[in-house]
Amino acid sequence: MKTIGFIGVGIMGKSMVRNLMKAGFTLHIYARTRAKVEDVIDEGALFYEDIGSCVEDCDAVITIVGYPEDVEEVYLAEGNIFERARAGAYCIDMTTSSPNLAKQLYAKGKALGLHVLDAPVTGGDVGAKNGTLSILVGGEEEDFKACLPLFKAMGTNIQYEGKAGNGQHTKMVNQIMIAANLSGVCEALSYARKKELDLDAVLAAVSSGAAGSRQLELLGSKILAGDLNPGFFVKHFVKDMRLAAEEAEESGLKLDILLQVLKHYQALETDGWGDLGTQALIKHYEE
């Protein structure tokens, strides 16, 4: 495996492209606006003006775009990946997207002789930059194994989760926990602030104990500093939670906490805060 087509060269995508080139792969990239990816072109990525040309000679195609609709578009629209990728190519969708869509793409790809994997990630922009992403993979196990060199260029915690769709399901598990944990952080810190506690002393007391969480580590001090800049966007988290809620409902599960947190975030988005970081949930409690 030598040549990779990469669709979705955003903040995370750019870091992933760089790490793949560093590992020796040749990168074909597509972007709607060439000016936004000049830096990685300068570093050696080959630019294409349409998705079909970008992917047609590649051994593998990686996609990491915004919403399930975008995933559908890049794979299924006329002239795009499923029309132009060569038989035997690996198609890896790393977008956090619908498990059902992942299953459909797997089946359609298989009929075309393509090896489709769903491989959403966790670890955010920092993990992408440092090549320390967690990568949650669903699909055929031998396809997973064939793509390991590529995954290892981008991540450190690379997990095979079973059949097509299971990478996405595992990501849903992850987001369900984050939704609750981050709510807990916001509720607890708004309590601490309201009771006029010494916030540094409170964090020192609780961070390392039974209340500790990665969300508290990552976002607790940002919340206290009033820094709502995005590590992870409110609008993307809304998408993830919506997918998880739909999937849960489809299975007859009522995840009350997830639904409540989703409501809070949807209200934030409606109020125009979709481009803030997820820690903006504190606004629900303090405004």
What is the token pair recorded at 20?
A: 């793949």
Which of 17, 179, 241, 268 is the binder for a second copy (CB under 8 A)? 179
Q: Are 91 and 106 in contact (CB under 8 A)?
A: no
11 makes contact with a second copy (CB under 8 A): no
Q: Helix (H, G, I), strand (E, B), or coil: what is residue 85?
A: coil
Site membership for a second copy, residue 4 (CB under 8 A): no
For a second copy, what does the binding mask look like between residues 122 and 151, x meaning CB under 8 A?
xxx---------x-x---------------
Question: Which span (64-72, 74-82, 104-112, 165-173) binds a second copy, by CB under 8 A?
Answer: 165-173
Total binding residues toward a second copy, as defined by CB under 8 A: 67
Tell me, what DSSP letter sits at residue 268?
H
Does 251 bind a second copy (CB under 8 A)? Our answer is yes
Instruction: Compare residues 61 and 150 and give the one whose CB is closer to a second copy.
Output: 150
The reply on whether position 224 binds a second copy by CB under 8 A is no
Q: Residue with structure tokens 């793409």?
A: 105
Is the Cβ of residue 73 or residue 124 nearer to a second copy in the bound state?
124
The residue type of 180 is A
Sheet holding 90-93, edge to edge: 46-48, 26-30, 3-7, 60-63, 90-93, 115-118
Residues annotated as catalytic are 171
Minimum distance, C-beta of residue 2 to a second copy, in the bound complex (Å): 28
- Rounded Cα distance between 98 and 11, Å, is 22
Among 53, 162, 236, 242, binds a second copy (CB under 8 A): 162
Tell me which amino acid residue 100 is: N
Strand partners, 116: 91
Nearer to a second copy, 227 or 250 (CB): 250
Q: Binding to a second copy by residue 16, rule CB under 8 A?
A: no
| Residue 131, both tokens | 């090549």
- Whole-angstrom distance, CA of residue 7 vs CA of residue 81: 10
CA angle centred on 83, ends 80 and 84, rounded to 5° = 80
Cβ proximity to a second copy: between 43 and 250 the closer is 250
CA 164 to chain centre: 17
95 is a site residue for a second copy (CB under 8 A): no
Element (H, E) at 3: strand 3-7
Q: Of the candidates 19, 63, 80, 166, which one interacts with a second copy according to CB under 8 A?
A: 166
**Positions that interact with a second copy (CB under 8 A):** 99, 122-124, 134, 136, 157, 159-162, 166, 169-170, 172-181, 183-185, 187-192, 194-195, 197-198, 201-202, 204-206, 208-216, 218, 244, 247-248, 251-258, 260-261, 264, 285
